[in-house]
């Protein structure tokens, strides 16, 4: 091929998918990660807009934007009923889905980096069960034993109770699974199953003594749902989740060093113990707040980081923000399915994530069992 023709050929713009494939083939994971994060940012905005438009009320994105921006004919763009549906139902639901999805995915990525294995996840190792126990304890006994807690913290009391439950479970799990600075994945999984079963048994006792109204709420809440999303819940859990997500990027360098082992990370100047403490508190806070407002939604924390790690590699500088974006996107998408698959009823979102995540978890387990001693 003549040199001039080669130059013209090389200067031709590539499609985004072609650019991603080119970076993948060259092995340049950092540039690939930046491209993917940019793409995920666009996708999450599109999914957020689609969530606001999806539902029984017929409102197009153009009408919604016209009304929100207050441009010509804004009052006629949407009826009063549609404005209530969008502002008080769909918008808080989309915001909560974004926050919870990002929280669960990032928590999974942090736990996998902390324990140095791909099977760590708040739902699988009992952290979510501990958070659920804290929340259920407050819901059932709040009017009797924990009245002062409600009086002091108001609507923050439930996320705080879930945070304390998740924190206690995480600390206990880490203590059991770690010996001489090494964390055993088999011990972690078995201990997580035991702690989850213990927390589930205690939750069952509380459900047994709950009244009819509490029982109905707890049954649907336990399956995971964004149906009760409102601005009060966002104000109660949102600041905790956002604070945890804001802290996590500062752990990226330390988590990268931990992949080489705690001793190596220490000699690289990483304050290992402080890193572990901050990571555990961040995971417990974000998971607890998420469980308090959405119930038990599993497998997001294991599927999202693992998929991204296969594509962009294990560098937590890119893995953590990518996990937040993809986790939020997937949970908003799952919520859209939950609202539309069996109308006018609503399918609990935890069922959808379990159907998608459980086979993926089995695939991870079978694919890596020879390397994990299982």
CA torsion, ordered 185, 188, 192, 198, to nearest 10 deg: 140
Model confidence pLDDT, tens digit, residues 87-142: 888 889 999 999 999 999 999 999 899 888 777 788 777 888 888 888 888 888 87
CA-to-CA distance for 246 and 249, rounded, in angstroms? 7
Q: Which fold has domain 17-372?
A: ABC transporter involved in vitamin B12 uptake, BtuC (1.10.3470)
**CA distance linking residue 306 with residue 319, whole number of Å:** 10
DSSP assignment of 101-137 equals HHHHHHHHHHHHHHHTSTT--TTTTTHHHHHHHHHHH
Say if residues 115 and 283 touch (Cβ distance below 8 Å).
no
Q: Would the pTM count as exceeding 0.85?
A: no
Cβ contacts of 112 within 8 Å, gap of 6 or more: 118, 119, 120, 121, 302, 305, 306
Q: Strands 178-179 and 182-183, how do they pair?
A: antiparallel
Can you tell me the distance from the alpha carbon of 150 to that of 153, in angstroms, rounded to the nearest whole number?
A: 5
Measured distance CA(315)–CA(331) in Å, rounded: 24
> Which tens digits make up the pLDDT trace of 324-359?
999 999 999 999 998 888 777 788 888 888 888 888
What CA–CA distance (Å, rounded) separates 191 from 334? 30
Phi, psi of 216 (to 5 degrees): -65, -45
Arithmetic mean of pLDDT, 66-81: 63
178 forms beta bridges with 183
Listed by start position, the domains of the chain span 17-372
Question: What is the tens place of the pLDDT at every residue in 229-282?
Answer: 889 889 988 999 999 999 999 999 999 998 888 888 889 889 988 888 888 889
**CA 346 – CA 334 distance, rounded (Å):** 12
> How far is CA 369 from each of CA 32, 336, 373, rounded to the nearest angstrom?
28, 35, 6
């Amino acid at each position: 091929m003549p040199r001039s023709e080669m130059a013209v050929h090389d200067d031709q713009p590539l499609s985004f998918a072609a650019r991603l494939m080119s970076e993948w083939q060259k092995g340049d994971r950092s540039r690939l990660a930046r491209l993917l994060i940019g793409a995920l940012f666009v996708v999450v905005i599109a999914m957020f807009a689609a969530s606001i438009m999806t539902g029984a009320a017929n409102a197009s994105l153009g009408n919604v934007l016209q009304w929100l921006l207050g441009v010509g004919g804004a009052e006629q763009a949407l009826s009063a009923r549609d404005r209530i549906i969008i502002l008080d139902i769909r918008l808080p639901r989309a915001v909560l889905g974004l926050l919870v999805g990002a929280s669960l995915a990032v928590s999974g990525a942090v736990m996998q980096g902390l324990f140095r294995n791909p099977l760590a996840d708040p739902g699988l190792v009992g952290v979510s069960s501990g958070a659920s126990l804290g929340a259920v304890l407050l819901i059932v006994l709040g009017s009797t034993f924990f009245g002062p807690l409600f009086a002091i913290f108001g609507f923050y009391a439930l996320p705080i109770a879930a945070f304390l439950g998740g924190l206690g479970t995480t600390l206990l799990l880490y203590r059991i699974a770690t010996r001489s600075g090494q964390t055993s994945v088999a011990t972690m999984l078995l201990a997580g199953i035991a702690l989850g079963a213990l927390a589930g048994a205690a939750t069952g006792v509380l459900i047994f003594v709950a009244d009819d109204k509490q029982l109905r709420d707890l049954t649907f809440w336990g399956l995971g749902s964004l149906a009760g999303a409102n601005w009060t819940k966002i104000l109660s859990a949102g600041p905790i989740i956002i604070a945890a997500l804001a802290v996590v990027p500062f752990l990226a360098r330390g988590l990268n060093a931990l992949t080489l082992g705690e001793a190596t990370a220490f000699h690289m100047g990483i304050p290992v113990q402080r890193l572990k403490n901050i990571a555990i508190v961040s995971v417990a806070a974000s998971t607890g707040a998420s469980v308090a407002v959405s119930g038990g939604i599993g497998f997001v924390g294991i599927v999202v980081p693992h998929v991204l790690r296969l594509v962009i590699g294990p560098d937590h500088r890119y893995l953590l923000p990518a996990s937040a974006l993809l986790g939020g996107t997937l949970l908003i998408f799952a919520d859209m399915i939950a609202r539309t698959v069996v109308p006018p009823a609503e399918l609990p979102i935890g069922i959808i994530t379990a159907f998608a995540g459980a086979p993926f978890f089995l695939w991870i387990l079978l694919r890596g069992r020879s390397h994990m001693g299982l």
